[in-house]
Every structure is written in C-alpha cells, then in structure tokens.
Amino acid sequence: MPAVFLDRDSLDRGDLDFSALEHALPGLRYYPATAPSEIAARIAEAEVVISNKVLLDAAAIAQAPHLRLICVAATGVNNVDLAAAAARAITVCNCRGYGTAAVVQHVFALLLSLMTRLPEYQQAVRAGRWQQAAQFCLLDFPIRELAGKTLGIIGYGELGQSVARIAEAFGMRVLIAQRPGTVDEQNGRVPLPLLLPQVDVLSLHCPLTPETRGLIGGWELALMRRDAILINTARGGLVDEALLADALRQGALGGAGIDVLSLEPPTRGNPLLAPDIPNLIVTPHSAWGSRESRQRMIEQLVENVSGYYSGAPTRVVG
C-alpha cells in the first residue's frame, strides 16, 4: 500500500513517535513539505495520502489513479476537494478533538493575559519601572477579574463546551450564541444581536464556512461593549481583521487575543500585525500545538488507516 505524508514538518518537531503509523503503513514515505508543483509526482503511485495543509484539489486527485484513502492531519478539510474524492469513491478521514485541552488552555492564557494586563506589567518590570516605584507595587494598568463576567461562545461543539466549563469554574456566566446561519430558535441559545451587547468576553469556536466568513465585522463589533474582549482560536476568516484593528486603536473594544489569521503564514502582512494596536495579543496558530495534542493526532491517523483497511473506517468526512 504505497503511502505518503506530504507535510510532516507541519506537526512534527522531532518530538513525536511515528512507530505505530509506520506499522499501519509499512514503507510510508515522509516529505517535510510539498510545494504545489511537487504534488502530482509525489502522489502518483500512492494508495494512501496524508496531508495537513497541502491542497488536494480535483486536478491533483485526477493524477493519482491508485488513491483510495486521504487522511487529513487536521480537523478542517477545506484543502481537499471532497466532491472529486467522492466521485472516485476515495475515503476522506480527518482528526477530531485531539487538541481540545491545548486550545482551551490557550484561550484562557490569552484571556487571563489581557484581563491582568500581563504583557504590560512584564514590560514595565523589564523597563525598570518597578525598581523605581515609590510604592511596593505597580498598579499602572487596570486589572479585571473573570468572576462575575459574562462569556459569549460562538460554536458549541467540544471546544466550546470545554471553554464553558472552565469559564464557569472561574465564576463566569456563559451565554451560547445561536448557530450562525440559522433562523429558528434553538433551546437555550441567544441570537447574536442579543448576545453581543451582553458579553464581557466573546470566544469563537465555529468552523469557517460561507455562513461564518466575516461573522464578526463592523456591525457586530459596534454592538459589543467598549471594554469587551474578543478571543479567536478558531479561524482567521471569521473576523474582519482591518475593522478589528481599527476598533482596538479607537478604544471601541477592550482587547483581543488572536491565534489565527486569514492568511497563514501572513507572508503579505496583516492589519493585526501593525505595531501600534493596543491591547492585542497575536500568537502564530500555536494554540493546538502541545506535544500531547500532536501525538494524539498521530494516534488518530493510525486509527483512521486501520479502520479503513479493516472495513470500518473512522472519522469519515462527507
């Protein structure tokens, strides 16, 4: 069963154990990364292709006559033409829930850093301001508590539910947004126009779809409180980045913690990378990247391959 992993370096830093995957796919060939011009040659003889972000569009799939299984080393499968795969009866499997603990941890790392003004206080110490203070402490930057604040969650799957549990442990009130793109009332969920003015924190955990692209734009930002905080560890395209940057500069929003951008890596720049934006923390799509999370992904790839060859495929998409 010729098999290739097209972009191993997208998840491995030399700290993962691939032995179980190699046992499931004897002779598995690894590539650190694969450029678009290299895809066709590398998958031409493959029966199994593993890809994190390498694009497997209709043209690429058409050039792989032996392809039977595509394993996406991620949850999102927007890099695979699912219709072209289905037309060839190619099974597509993804990975799910592997990074929940890491992402939830990152959500609260961003939120706590913003609420406690951790970056500003750290910089103040490095600049010698504490050493020169007249009092025993510095309180130059307003600190807020999570207890008693309201958290709004958009996307109430495994990640959203896990964030809600931790928020409640901090003493927060949790509101769940009605699913984007729906008009029918959902039990216990709040339509976005009613939710946004109530929240002190808004955390995004929904996929990027035609219905959610640009979900948080100028109108939505204007509905939020001036001291509210936006956390996005989901997908960059959910937020209008230029308008978010402007809102932060103008003091129309209290802060933002962003782990994802609309183009990654941001080789052509991004409005949120400007150096003059206050109360903003940007991390490089690293929320999911604990070693434990990445090893769980390898375990799920093994399960997906083994399930396919045993006639009981798991985590099938489409």
| Residues 6+ away with beta carbon under 8 Å from 126 | none
The question of whether 205 is a catalytic residue gets the answer: no
The SS3 assignment for 195 reads helix
Amino acid at residue number 203:
S
Rounding to the nearest 10 degrees, give the CA dihedral for residues 239, 289, 113, 136: -160
Which two structure tokens, joined as six digits, stand for 58? 């209709």
What element of type H or E holds 282? strand 280-282
Options 42, 205, 235, 294, the catalytic residue: 235
The whole-angstrom distance between residue 133's C-alpha and the CA centroid of its chain comes to: 40
Residue corresponding to tokens 């510095």 = 138
What element of type H or E holds 152? strand 150-154
> Rounded distance, CA 230 to CA 61, Å?
39
The question of whether 158 is a catalytic residue gets the answer: no
> Rounded distance, CA 94 to CA 301, Å?
8
Q: Decide if 211 contacts 154 (C-beta within 8 A).
A: no
Options 68, 179, 285, 299, the catalytic residue: 285
Closest CA to 261 of 237, 287, 277, 231: 237
Q: Buried b / exposed e across 69-82, counting CB within 10 Å, b at 16+?
A: bbbbbbbbbeebbe
Options 165, 264, 291, 292, the catalytic residue: 264
Residue corresponding to tokens 């409180």 = 225
The whole-angstrom distance between residue 126's C-alpha and the CA centroid of its chain comes to: 31
| Residues 6+ away with beta carbon under 8 Å from 142 | 117
The question of whether 285 is a catalytic residue gets the answer: yes
What element of type H or E holds 176? strand 173-177
Active site residues: 235, 264, 285
